[in-house]
Amino acid sequence: MRATIFISLQRKDEKIFDMEGEAEDRSKQFIEALSTLRHDLLNDFTIISGGLSVYTMTKNEKLLENAIKAVDRAIARLKKTKDTELFLSLGGKML
């Protein structure tokens, strides 16, 4: 009986340990995804800010077009975060 209880408790400890490892893996994936998103958005906003600043002085339409494209990319990236949220909420496993 004691051996059965010990084995049962050991298995529960192993499951908890596995769950903690999975949670840590998900956390690392989330941080990596968030870091990538932050980097990409900062790139887009730098293009937007710089392009609009120079456009106001030069009226170069190409700069305005590039800024609009960067806005569109930033919006698309933010919309894609929903897919990333779903992926990570499923433990990084495909459906």
DSSP per position, 34-57: HHHHHHHHHHHHHHHHHHHHHHHH
Angle, helices 2-58/61-89, rounded to nearest 10 degrees: 170
The residue to which tokens 């975060």 are assigned: 81
Q: Is the pLDDT of residue 34 over 80?
A: yes
Q: Is the pLDDT of residue 54 over 60?
A: yes
Question: Residue 93's pLDDT is what?
Answer: 58
DSSP 8: H
Question: Residue 27's pLDDT is what?
Answer: 80
Domain boundaries, the chain: 27-89
